[in-house]
Structure 1
Amino acid sequence: MNIVRIPFSILLLLLTTSCQPKNKSDKPETPQIVKETVAPKVEISLEELQNYETAYFASGCFWCVEAIFESVKGVKEVFSGYSGGTEKDPTYEQVAYGRTHHAEAVEVYYDPGVISFTELVQVFFGSHDPTTLNRQGPDRGAQYRSIAFYKNEKQKKIIISYIAQLESKNIYGRPIVTEVSEFEIFYKAEEYHQDYEKRNPNNSYIRNVSIPRLNRFKKNFKSYLKEDSH
């Protein structure tokens, strides 16, 4: 299994923009989301998606994570959503304000004949900082924690083995705090979150955090990219 050494930008940690909706007071309020386009995401039929395997990850704001996995060869579709908690049918407001135990997560539909689960795990660890507890870049809180979900013992062993290799080579310089959790359920996020980066290129968070994060990933994982993602 190859280890990819990823230089992680300090700039990302210093940015003040955040995926989390801002409160003007201590009392939570409904997030004010700027919807720069109302075009719905063109979804693939359920029948077609059933031909693919699924994998689940959480590594900060799902706008960023969705865009990263959608650039990977063998990945057919990615949905933003919520997982890792016990509450039923969570909303963005509840998750983003830390009112649930869920994290912002993604559901990845992929072709194992093109890309393996092991390679998706490499993408996951290579596209975020797994050493920051309950934080990813400017986004803070358990809802932005790092989680690698597994659906069976084989996947669990793959994740644990890869973490051990990363730590044995001191790739990040600090202990990895990623949760390795058995997958239970995924709740798809509200429609305006799907393909958010593509549909809202002028959003300040997308310009300052999401796109730079995606570009860093592309620079380090060129061989993993779809032809139209270079």
Structure 2
Amino acid sequence: MRIPLLSLLMLVSTGCQPKSKSDKPEVAQKGQEDTLMETSLTADQLKGYETAYFASGCFWCVEAIFESVKGVKEVYSGYSGGTEKNPTYKEVSYGKTTHAEAVEVYYDPKIVSFAQLVQVFFGSHDPTSLNRQGPDRGAQYRSIAFYKDEAQKKIITDYIAQLEAENIYGRPIVTEVKKFDKFYRAEEYHQDYEKRNPNNTYIQNVSVPRLNRFKENFKSYLKKESH
């Protein structure tokens, strides 16, 4: 299957800056967090949607990108791709596990297809950068496209072959194509982090610019409120 290529703007600087050991993530102000929790879908509501899993750097940035895509109902930040059970943010972000920061995407396949989500994934980070996204370094920030069955695997590998055949990036793609096993949801303060912390300097200087670059190239994929 040939998937139409979108106009991709790939910059090394699209990754999130590393969180230093002294950083303490800001939490939502009272009232803002309550509103976010009220608008979240329940587990029963989410049962009606398909799921897809991706890793492409800091999950704060990746979550915000997928949440802007029409047909996507919910996105959670978490950890996947490794073998350790119940990893924590401190363990993963310090490179003490084999997991990567990842996202779980709930989507309506009648509105957005898995193939289109794969396009979003490749169009919103640098898949030629090994164990790094921008200034974020380490295997915990590696690029992974997860698949749940052979049909999804073919969609991913065919798209990679197409990107490389047309030399979109000018360098070999190093994205892992990995069978999905387990997703561990991150701590609550990481969920909707960008929305909860709009005044955070990290969000303003790194996450928002990355999101805006994505929006500029994928205008037809955006929810109306994301324009």
Aligned equivalent of 2:112, options 115, 125, 129? 115
Match of 2:183 in 1: 186
Match of 2:121 in 1: 124
Q: Which runs of structure 1 show a deviation greater than 3 angstroms over 4 or more consecutive aligned residues? A: 9-13
Deviation, 1:107, is: 0.2
Offset from partner CA, 1:157-182 (integer Å, 9 cap, x none)? 00000000000000011100000000
* 5+ long unaligned stretches in structure 1: 25-30
Offset from partner CA, 1:15-69 (integer Å, 9 cap, x none)? xx72x33137xxxxxx522325351542311111000000000000000000000
Match of 2:44 in 1: 47
Aligned equivalent of 1:4, options 3, 6, 17? 6
CA distance in 2, matches of 1:54, 1:36: 27
Match of 2:153 in 1: 156
Aligned equivalent of 1:104, options 101, 105, 114? 101
Aligned equivalent of 1:63, options 60, 63, 66? 60
TM-score by length of 1: 0.91
TM-score by length of 2: 0.93
Match of 1:34 in 2: 26
CA distance in 2, matches of 1:136, 1:157: 25
Aligned residue type for 2:142: R
8 A Cα contact 2:11 2:126, kept in partner:
no
* 5+ long unaligned stretches in structure 2: none
Offset from partner CA, 1:137-172 (integer Å, 9 cap, x none)? 111110000000000000000000000000000001
Match of 1:224 in 2: 221
Aligned residue type for 2:119: Q
The number of residue pairs the alignment matches comes to 220
Q: Secondary structure at the match of 1:2?
A: coil
8 A Cα contact 1:83 1:185, kept in partner:
yes
Match of 1:27 in 2: none
Identity across matched positions, percent: 68
Deviation, 1:213, is: 0.6
Question: Per the alignment, do residues 80 and 10 of structure 1 end up closer, same or farther by CA in structure 2, a change over 3 Å counting?
Answer: closer
8 A Cα contact 2:133 2:141, kept in partner:
yes
CA distance in 2, matches of 1:136, 1:10: 7
Match of 2:19 in 1: 21
